[in-house]
Amino acid sequence: MSLAPFKVLLFDCYGDWETGMLENFKPLLEQSSAPDRAKLFEVVGPIENKTQDDDPTALYSDVLTKVYSKTAKKLNLQATDAQAQAYGNSVPSWPAFPDSSKALKRLSDAGLKLVILSNVDNKSFEGSRKRLEDGYSFDAIYTAEKIGSYKPSLRNFDYAIENIKKDFGLEKEDILIVANSKYHDIQPGHKKNLKSAWIDRAKAHMGVEAYKDVKPDYQFQSMDEFATAIIKDKS
């Protein structure tokens, strides 16, 4: 199935979120009874999802602060308020995947609209934006803070579809979701009849491991591979 018809790419570009999370969970992970990576994310994922569901208008930085404290309590680990606050403010320090910026530049140069639909607050996203934008700019940025809810709420996808039509005059059929999380992006996108390209990031756990039955329309091992494929189809 050709990628040529798509004109808008809908991303959630925090970068390498799990590496960023792990780095900022260090005060917990350094404790002798701390779990390994996979076990940690098995705990963190549901806590984060429920925290967002309980207060969908909360800033993502505040969500993360609560997630840190709740995770420590769930795992019977010691945590301070200062550590939780530092975790909440850590998103701007989360690294980008090494292939993302160059691939996004190639996609922008090819005339594709690059739109962010992210479970993050505006201030936190600015850190990610600085790491990703190099010689191009995102065409639109729709954050959870702007929308007032978190994915996988279909409200977020309705917002994106409506604003893409308003901002660019493009329809749902022109949009392709490009993401790693099957829980946050691929599955709810399919409920809105949006096509999806899954970027299979090695070792990614949150929103992936428990959703192996969710089948994307396309699958790639990296953003670079995806960019090469869609540019080839459009040539």
d(CA 59, CA 78): 24
Is the CB of residue 67 less than 8 Å from the CB of residue 44? yes
d(CA 207, CA 7): 26
What distances in angstroms separate CA 50 from CA 63, 128, 153, 213, 220, one per listed residue?
Answer: 10, 24, 12, 22, 30
In sequence order, which residues have a C-beta less than 8 Å from that of residue 15 and are 6 or more positions away?
94, 95, 96, 97, 100, 128, 131, 132
Is the CB of residue 179 less than 8 Å from the CB of residue 11? yes
Q: Is 12 a catalytic residue?
A: yes
- The set of catalytic residues is 12
